[in-house]
C-alpha cells in the first residue's frame, strides 16, 4: 500500500469519526450550542480543553521552534502551561459562578455598560481571528504534504470539515469531537517520539532520552547535539542568547494571554458546578503535560536527525568525516524521500551553489566556526539548504527517521486534529460573541431562541470563510502568529476580567478606557514592526532586536499592554463615580464561595 493511500485512509477515518460525533451530539438549543447544556464532566472537559488548547502551534510549530532555537524557546512551554495555573486559580471558578455564556457578557454585566460589552466583542474578535489564522496555516501545511494538494486546497478542505462538525454540533458537538481529537493527537505525537528516542538513545521515554546518552558515540545526547551544531557555526543548543528582559516579558505575555483567551475560558462554562471548573483546569494540565514534556525531546532529536541527514558523519561522531549529502542521493535514495516530498510543498528548499553535486548545510554567516574552515578548503559557496520551515519539523520527523508508513499517517491525522480542534473552539467563541453579545445583546434583544441559534450557525459559517481567506496569506508560521494573539489577549481581555472579579472600585469608564488603551498600544507596536495588516514591506521599523523598543519583541509586548490597561483603568476609575451598589454586590457574590455549587445556569 502506498504512503499516500495509507495517509488518505487514516485521515479519512479520523474525519468520519469527527463528523459522526457531531451528528450524534447535534445542538438543539442555545444552551447546548454555547455551553453543552452545562453537563460535561471535569475529566472529559479537561481532555476537551487540552485538545482545544494544543493547537497547530503546540503540535506542529512548538517543537520546530525549539529545534532551531533551543533553550530560549522553552518560554513557550513555561508560558503556555503557567497560564493554566492562573486560569484555574484566578478566573475559571469565578466566571463559572457568574453563570453566563460568553466573556463579553460578563464584561457587559460587571461593568454595567452595553458599550463595554461591545468593546469586549471587538477585543475577542481581534484575538480569536488572529489566533485562528495560525490554525488554518497548520491545516494548509499538513494537507499540502500528506494529501498532495496545494496549500490553498488544503485550507478549503479543512474549512469544510470544521463547518460540518462545528456548525452542526456547537459546543456540545465540539466537546465530544475534541475528546476524540485529543486521543488522536496525543497518540500521533507520542508514538514517533518513542521510536526516535529508542533509535538515538535507547531510552523508551523521550523525556529521559533527551538527557540520556547518544548510543552511537557514548556521550550525552545534548552534549553531542551542541557539538555538531556549533561545528556547523550555529549557536550552542542549550545556551541562552536572547534578551533576559524580553524572555521574561514574553513568558508573562503567554501566561496572562492564555488566561485571557476566550475560546479557553468558555470551556469552563460547560461544567455542572463551580468546583468542577477548577478540577477541569487541573485535568487539562495533566493532559497537556503528556505532550508538553515530550516536546523538548522531539525538538532536539528532530534537529539532530536533520543535521545527521545533511552531514552523514555527524551520526558517527565527526561532523565533517563524510562530505555533505549528494544531489544524486536526494533524488534516488529511499531514506531521503522525505526531502523530495517536502520540497514539493515549498517549505524545504536547497540550491547547489558551487555545482559540486552536494548540498552543504552550515551557518555561512559565522566565519569563526569549524564549518567556515571546511568551506574554504572545499571551495563552498555558502549554505545550500536555503529553506527549512519550522512547521515541518514535527511532521517530517518520522520520515527523517525512516519510521513505518502507518506512523507517518498517524502523525498527519494528529496534526490535523490539533489544528482543527482549536479552530473549532475559536470559531465557537467568535460565533457566540456575534450572535449572543452583538445580535441578541445589542441589536435584537427580543430575538427568539430559534433565531439566535440560526444566527450563531450563520455567524460561525461566515467566520470559517473569513478565517480561511486570511489563512491563505498568514503573517508567519503557526506558532509565531499564535504568539501575537496571546499578546493581544494579554493586553485587552485578561486585565478587565481580573479587575472585574477582584475589584469593586473599577468603573465602566475605567474598564473601557483600559481595554482600548491596552489593545491599541499593542496593535500599534505589532504593526510597527510586523507590517500594517501583516502585509510585507509596510512595517515602519525593521523587525529586529536592535530596532525594538528596549529590546522588547512584538510578541512580548502584550505584557506591557496589560500593564497599560491596568494603569489606565485604575486612573480613570479613580476620577469617575464608584460603580452602583448592585454591581459591587455582584462582585462580592462572585468571590464568596457560599452556594458556589448551586450556581444557576443562565
Query: What does the alpha-carbon distance between residue 405 and residue 428 come to, in Å, rounded to a whole number?
Result: 35
Measured CA angle at 564 (ends 431, 536), to 5 deg: 65
250-284 residue pLDDT tens: 999 999 998 898 888 888 888 898 889 889 988 99
User: Mean pLDDT across the stretch 450-456?
Assistant: 88
Q: How confident is the model at residue 44 (pLDDT cuts 50, 70, 90)?
A: very high
First to last CA, the chain: 53
Looking at the fold, whether 131 and 253 belong to one and the same domain comes out as yes
Domain-located, residue 536: no
Q: What is the pLDDT of residue 600?
A: 44
Q: What is the pLDDT of residue 601?
A: 43
175-191 residue pLDDT tens: 888 899 899 999 999 99
The residue behind cell 453537563 is 39
Q: What is the pLDDT of residue 475?
A: 56
Looking at the fold, whether 155 and 221 belong to one and the same domain comes out as yes
Domain-located, residue 583: no
User: Mean pLDDT across the stretch 164-168?
Assistant: 75
Query: What does the alpha-carbon distance between residue 501 and residue 98 come to, in Å, rounded to a whole number?
Result: 10
Q: In this model, does residue 55 exceed pLDDT 80? A: no
* Average pLDDT over all residues of the chain: 86
525-536 residue pLDDT tens: 988 887 665 555
Looking at the fold, whether 239 and 159 belong to one and the same domain comes out as yes
Q: What is the pLDDT of residue 481?
A: 63
Query: What does the alpha-carbon distance between residue 602 and residue 595 come to, in Å, rounded to a whole number?
Result: 16
Query: What does the alpha-carbon distance between residue 350 and residue 356 come to, in Å, rounded to a whole number?
Result: 13
Task: Give the side-chain half-sphere CA count within 13 A for 35.
Answer: 22
Q: What is the pLDDT of residue 596?
A: 44
Q: What is the pLDDT of residue 375?
A: 84
DSSP helix, strand, coil percent of the chain (3-state; round to 5): 75, 0, 25
Domain-located, residue 563: no
Sign of CA dihedral 295, 300, 303, 305: negative
DSSP of 32-85? HHHHGGG---HHHHHHHHHHHHS-HIIIIIHHHHHHHHGGGGGHHHHHHHHHHH
The phi, psi pair for 230, rounded to 5°, reads -75, -35
Domain-located, residue 602: no
Domain-located, residue 287: yes
CA-CA distances (angstroms) from residue 490 to 185, 242, 256, 505?
Answer: 27, 22, 5, 21
Q: What is the pLDDT of residue 217?
A: 85
Task: Give the side-chain half-sphere CA count within 13 A for 206.
Answer: 21
Q: Which three cell numbers stand for residue 222?
A: 545534548
Query: What does the alpha-carbon distance between residue 294 and residue 173 come to, in Å, rounded to a whole number?
Result: 29
Looking at the fold, whether 124 and 43 belong to one and the same domain comes out as yes
More confident residue, 595 or 592: 592
- Nearest to residue 515, comparing CAs of 559, 558, 562? 562
Q: What is the pLDDT of residue 602?
A: 43
Query: What does the alpha-carbon distance between residue 210 and residue 205 come to, in Å, rounded to a whole number?
Result: 9
Query: What does the alpha-carbon distance between residue 326 and residue 330 come to, in Å, rounded to a whole number?
Result: 6
What share of the chain in percent tops pLDDT 70? Answer: 95
Q: What is the pLDDT of residue 376?
A: 83
Measured CA angle at 402 (ends 396, 404), to 5 deg: 100
Strand (E) positions, 490-567? none
What share of the chain in percent tops pLDDT 90? Answer: 32
Q: How confident is the model at residue 52 (pLDDT cuts 50, 70, 90)?
A: confident
79-126 residue pLDDT tens: 888 888 888 888 888 888 887 778 999 999 999 999 999 999 999 988
- Nearest to residue 140, comparing CAs of 462, 478, 407, 399? 478
- Nearest to residue 396, comparing CAs of 410, 384, 411? 411
The residue behind cell 487540552 is 50
Looking at the fold, whether 98 and 166 belong to one and the same domain comes out as yes
Looking at the fold, whether 163 and 251 belong to one and the same domain comes out as yes
Query: What does the alpha-carbon distance between residue 335 and residue 399 come to, in Å, rounded to a whole number?
Result: 8
Q: In this model, does residue 393 exceed pLDDT 70? A: yes
151-162 residue pLDDT tens: 788 888 888 887
**537: alpha, beta or left? (left if phi > 0; alpha if psi -120 to 50):** left
Query: What does the alpha-carbon distance between residue 399 and residue 409 come to, in Å, rounded to a whole number?
Result: 10
Highest mean pLDDT (candidates 22-31, 340-349, 498-507): 498-507
Final residue belonging to a domain, choices 422, 454, 485:
485
Domain count, the chain: 2
CB 403 within 8 A of CB 195: yes
Final residue belonging to a domain, choices 430, 451, 485:
485
Q: Which three cell numbers stand for residue 408?
A: 507517518
CA-CA distances (angstroms) from residue 507 to 40, 106, 420, 517, 563?
Answer: 34, 14, 38, 15, 17
Q: What is the pLDDT of residue 538?
A: 67
Q: Which three cell numbers stand for residue 82?
A: 503557567
Final residue belonging to a domain, choices 485, 511, 530:
485
536-591 residue pLDDT tens: 566 777 778 888 998 899 889 999 999 999 999 999 999 999 999 999 998 998 87
The phi, psi pair for 330, rounded to 5°, reads -60, -40
Q: What is the CATH number of the domain that holds 185?
A: 1.20.1730.10
Looking at the fold, whether 256 and 384 belong to one and the same domain comes out as no
Looking at the fold, whether 33 and 98 belong to one and the same domain comes out as yes
Looking at the fold, whether 118 and 17 belong to one and the same domain comes out as yes
Diameter of the chain measured on Cα atoms: 81
Q: What is the pLDDT of residue 21?
A: 85
Domain-located, residue 577: no
Q: Which three cell numbers stand for residue 179?
A: 475528546
Q: What is the pLDDT of residue 303?
A: 92
Looking at the fold, whether 339 and 448 belong to one and the same domain comes out as no
More confident residue, 351 or 467: 351
Domain-located, residue 421: yes
Query: What does the alpha-carbon distance between residue 296 and residue 292 come to, in Å, rounded to a whole number?
Result: 8
Q: In this model, does residue 599 exceed pLDDT 60? A: no
Looking at the fold, whether 37 and 145 belong to one and the same domain comes out as yes
Looking at the fold, whether 247 and 213 belong to one and the same domain comes out as yes
Contacts of residue 536, defined as CB under 8 A and 6 or more positions apart, other chains included, come to: none
Domain-located, residue 557: no
Query: What does the alpha-carbon distance between residue 239 and residue 549 come to, in Å, rounded to a whole number?
Result: 24
Query: What does the alpha-carbon distance between residue 434 and residue 460 come to, in Å, rounded to a whole number?
Result: 9
Q: What is the residue range of 393's domain?
A: 318-397
Amino acid at each position: 500500500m502506498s504512503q499516500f493511500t495509507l495517509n488518505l485512509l487514516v485521515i479519512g477515518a479520523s474525519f468520519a469519526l469527527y463528523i459522526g460525533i457531531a451528528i450524534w451530539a447535534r445542538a438543539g438549543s442555545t444552551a447546548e450550542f454555547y455551553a453543552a447544556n452545562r453537563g460535561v464532566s471535569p475529566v472529559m472537559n479537561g481532555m476537551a480543553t487540552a485538545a482545544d488548547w494544543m493547537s497547530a502551534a503546540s503540535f506542529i510549530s512548538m517543537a520546530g521552534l525549539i529545534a532551531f532555537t533551543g533553550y530560549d524557546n522553552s518560554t513557550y512551554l513555561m508560558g503556555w502551561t503557567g497560564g493554566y495555573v492562573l486560569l484555574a486559580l484566578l478566573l475559571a471558578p469565578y466566571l463559572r459562578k457568574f453563570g453566563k455564556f460568553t466573556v463579553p457578557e460578563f464584561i457587559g454585566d460587571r461593568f454595567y455598560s452595553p458599550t463595554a460589552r461591545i468593546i469586549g466583542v471587538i477585543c475577542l474578535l481581534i484575538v480569536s481571528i488572529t489566533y485562528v489564522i495560525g490554525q488554518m496555516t497548520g491545516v494548509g501545511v499538513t494537507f499540502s504534504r500528506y494529501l498532495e494538494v496545494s496549500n490553498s486546497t488544503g485550507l478549503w478542505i479543512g474549512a469544510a470539515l470544521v463547518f460540518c462538525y462545528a456548525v452542526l454540533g456547537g459546543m456540545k458537538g465540539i466537546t465530544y469531537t475534541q475528546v476524540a481529537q485529543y486521543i488522536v493527537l496525543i497518540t500521533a505525537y507520542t508514538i514517533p517520539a518513542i521510536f526516535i528516542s529508542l533509535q538515538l538513545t535507547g531510552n523508551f521515554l523521550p523525556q529521559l532520552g533527551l538527557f540520556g546518552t547518544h548510543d552511537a558515540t557514548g556521550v550525552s545526547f545534548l552534549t553531542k547535539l551542541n557539538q555538531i551544531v556549533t561545528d556547523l557555526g550555529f549557536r550552542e543548543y542549550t545556551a541562552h542568547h536572547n534578551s533576559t528582559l524580553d524572555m521574561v516579558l514574553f513568558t508573562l505575555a503567554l501566561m496572562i494571554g492564555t488566561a485571557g483567551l476566550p475560546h479557553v475560558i468558555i470551556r469552563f462554562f460547560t461544567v455542572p458546578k463551580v468546583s468542577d471548573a477548577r478540577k477541569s483546569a487541573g485535568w487539562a494540565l495533566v493532559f497537556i503535560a503528556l505532550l508538553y514534556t515530550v516536546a523538548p525531546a522531539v525538538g532536539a532529536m528532530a534537529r539532530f536527525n536533520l543535521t545527521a541527514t545533511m552531514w552523514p558523519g555527524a551520526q558517527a561522531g565527526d561532523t565533517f568525516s563524510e562530505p555533505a549529502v549528494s544531489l544524486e542521493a536526494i533524488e534516488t535514495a529511499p531514506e531521503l524521500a522525505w526531502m523530495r516530498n517536502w520540497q514539493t510543498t515549498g517549505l524545504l528548499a536547497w540550491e547547489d551553489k558551487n555545482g559540486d553535486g552536494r548540498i552543504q548545510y552550515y551557518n555561512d554567516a559565522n566565519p569563526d566556526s569549524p564549518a567556515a574552515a571546511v568551506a574554504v578548503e572545499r571551495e563552498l559557496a555558502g549554505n545550500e539548504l536555503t529553506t527549512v520551515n519550522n512547521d515541518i519539523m514535527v511532521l517530517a520527523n518520522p520520515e527523517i527517521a525512516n519510521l513505518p508508513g502507518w506512523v507517518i499517517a498517524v502523525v498527519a491525522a494528529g496534526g490535523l486534529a490539533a489544528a482543527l480542534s482549536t479552530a473549532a473552539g475559536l470559531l465557537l467563541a467568535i460565533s457566540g460573541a456575534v450572535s449572543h453579545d452583538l445580535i441578541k445583546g445589542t441589536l435584537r434583544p427580543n430575538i427568539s431562541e430559534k433565531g439566535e441559534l440560526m444566527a450563531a450557525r450563520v455567524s460561525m459559517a461566515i467566520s470559517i470563510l473569513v478565517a480561511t481567506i486570511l489563512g491563505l496569506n498568514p503573517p508567519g508560521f503557526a506558532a509565531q502568529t499564535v504568539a501575537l494573539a496571546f499578546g493581544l489577549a494579554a493586553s485587552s481581555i485578561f486585565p478587565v476580567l481580573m479587575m472585574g472579579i477582584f475589584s469593586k472600585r473599577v468603573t465602566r469608564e475605567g474598564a473601557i478606557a483600559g481595554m482600548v488603551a491596552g489593545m491599541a498600544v499593542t496593535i500599534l507596536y505589532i504593526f510597527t514592526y510586523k507590517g500594517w495588516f501583516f502585509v510585507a514591506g509596510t512595517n515602519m521599523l525593521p523587525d529586529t532586536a536592535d530596532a525594538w523598543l528596549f529590546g522588547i519583541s512584538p510578541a512580548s509586548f502584550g505584557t506591557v499592554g496589560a500593564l497599560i490597561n491596568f494603569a489606565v483603568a485604575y486612573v480613570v476609575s479613580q476620577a469617575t463615580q464608584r460603580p452602583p451598589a448592585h454591581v459591587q454586590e455582584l462582585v462580592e457574590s462572585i468571590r464568596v464561595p457560599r452556594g458556589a455549587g448551586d450556581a444557576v445556569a443562565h
